[in-house]
Amino acid sequence: MKNEDTLKRLKNIEGHLKGVIRMVEEDAYCIDIIRQIQAVEAALNKVSGGILESHLNSCVITAVQGDDPAERQRVLKEITEVFDMATKV
């Protein structure tokens, strides 16, 4: 995912989140707020997935194909940590 695409998506999410804040301020129906929060979460997950895919296709491939075993191990550990954090949320 290109940086400009990522920024565009994040700015859209920011606008959507501001809408959710406004809904809370205006005491909107709880289920409607929850649905909008879920939409924001889904959009963030999509951006996160795109960034991860870019990382896997650049940094990780470079490290795995490189000659430095410590760098390979470091990059693979990072990926494991990201997945561990994702399952804790």
Q: Give 7-55 pLDDT, tens digit per residue.
A: 999 999 999 999 999 999 999 999 999 999 999 999 999 999 999 999 9
Domain assignments of the chain as residue spans, ordered by start: 3-88
CATH fold label, 3-88: Methane Monooxygenase Hydroxylase; Chain G, domain 1 (1.20.58)
Predicted confidence band of residue 1 (pLDDT cuts 50, 70, 90): confident
Euclidean distance between CA atoms 28 and 15, whole angstroms: 17
Task: Please state whether the predicted TM-score (pTM) of the whole model is above 0.95.
Answer: no
Considering only residues 1 and 33, tell me which one the structure prediction assigns the higher pLDDT: 33
What is the residue-wise DSSP string for the chain? --HHHHHHHHHHHHHHHHHHHHHHHTT--HHHHHHHHHHHHHHHHHHHHHHHHHHIIIIIHHHHHSS-HHHHHHHHHHHHHHHHHHHH-
Tally Cβ neighbours within 10 Å of residue 59: 14
Q: In angstroms, what is the C-alpha Rg of the chain?
A: 18
- CA-nearest of 54, 75, 78 to 66 is 75
